[in-house]
Structure 1
Amino acid sequence: MVRVREGFEQEFAALMQKLPPWVRQEVEGHGPQLEEIAMDLGARLAYTVDGEARYSEREVSKEDLQFVLHRVGGFKENNRAGIEGTLHRVSRIQSALGEMTGITIRVGKFVEGVAEPLRPYLLDGQGSILLVGPPRTGKTTLLRDVVRILAERWGSRVLVVDTSNEIGGDGLIPHPGIRPARRMQVPDPPAKTQGRIIYQAIANHSPEIVVVDEIGYNEDVYECLTASRRGVRVVATAHGEKLLDVLENPALHPVLGDPDLKARERRSRPSFQMALQVVGKGRFVLYPDLAKALDELLEGNEPEGIRLGNWPPGPASQG
């Protein structure tokens, strides 16, 4: 059963307190269905409810943007801010002169049950898993629930390397939904530090499983490769519409067995034993043997996958 974790009402109320009163009045009735709020200077307030874009009659003013700025207490170097104890994310848009011209608010929810179709594959302990999908398909929401399931069995031996606090939320104490897994935050910019934090996680804290969101920087890819060679399971996400997009991304080649696209062969075994393509919210295609799937792609064929999740009725097919 998929459900928003208990406690969302308090987390949602904390977000509403950061908004100008008229914005709050416009959006607060939508609760868990509210996904995003966009406040752009001189434009009507825009917000998304269950995938549908909606607009207010009133335009956003400079005072409205300043209201949010003061309530969140400022932004970090990456122009993001969080709200302590929640998964909400507030991001700032600036002009060329550094003036704030817009704010995007992602309403964070810990959705329990979305990863349940993966439970047998997560708990069999057979290897690392790469989650692949484009933005806004629920990769991070899925990853949080993956952490919940892994932590049920391996507890504090599951260690989350949390880029931009996407998995465990902002603040010193991670969101209770991922407990008893542990969390290490990644300083900005992640391109220079994420790999170092993965190294520290493995070298200093001896995890059995490391969870990483959005790999693709040279150092973090190398550390994921090292982890797999040392017997540490890795669960990571990467951007891509399909598995083929990952194969065609040179930055990820080290963890895919160093494929040669011209020679159509791999030089070694991939660091991940399985791959999961996130097609949409609650819809996945699992490749239980990533090496075999990569070889199929290198030969110009479409690999066969297993459909998981809430697909509409119809014949099963590949991804």
Structure 2
Amino acid sequence: MPRSTPSSAEQTVADIGEFGLIANIIRGLSRTPAVSVGPGDDSAVYLINGSAVTSTDILIEGVHFRRDWSSATEIGRKSVAVNAADIEAMGATPVAVVMSLGVPGDLPVRWVKDFAAGFRAEADTAGLALVGGDTSSARDITISVTVIGETGALEPVLRTGATPGEVVAVCGRLGWAAAGLTALGRGFRSPRAAVDSQRVPVVPYGEGRRAALGGATAMIDISDGLLADLNHVAQASGVWIDVETAAFEIPEPVAAVASAVGKDPLDFVLTGGEDHALAACFPMGELPSGWVGIGTVREADESGPMVTVDGRPHEGASGWEHFRRG
């Protein structure tokens, strides 16, 4: 008796195979003028204006996302957002993206289609064209994304350029994703705005380039927490960065979660990661619109480069770090 073919709603990745999986991912792709050869050849071909800037991130099920917390579409969007933010932090313009996907054979094809739809939607928002990648079988869903950007006529904005006397400013949300993660970890799905920010970060697309044009001397993507990431800038530039808590307005969703769990909402803002806001240092003067001053850059003393809060060392962890015990 011939074996029946599973309906499209019931099909798994094992049913359609590798090439069917790839076809579902690349179907309906848009292409930017910078891309002359996209998926379907041995390599992609794209044009770069100025210096090429490249960044890679890996997202692993159970570490960076959970399927019971996030939809496939949200995971697809997040896969692009967390990587494109690194290009923004260099003052560059995102151009092209390459994605490799490892999945178990029993994963429903519907999940892959929804993931691809989310990936394409966020790529379009970021101004990216998907130009290639790879697929493989894997025990857990594993997503590797590489984004390529261009600097045009400007030099990339590095972490090493902060100078005493400058203003430290941020653009984007702070504390929202950490508050959302805390809510999800306790079995809640609200406040919706905070939970959604954890599922899909709201990257301030285009602001990295505007910061570069506005004279930013150093810049970083806030992925591990504001204090932790500013410390990367302080160490790379050999300076002391002081953050002023009076500069922050606590968003209502962050305040609501903090109140529910008995936590200082400022801890979410200062140490919460995964918002993918941008922090940059600017010469004294007018900041680009949308950027908010939160501190200053000072000469490092005998204690060496550091980050302080209101002039004093911060008590407790400053942010997320993989492999840290405790």
* TM-score of the alignment, normalized to the shorter chain, above 0.5: no
Structure-1-length-normalised TM-score: 0.29
- Which protein has greater RCO, CA pairs closer than 8 Å, 6+ apart? 2
More strand by share: 1
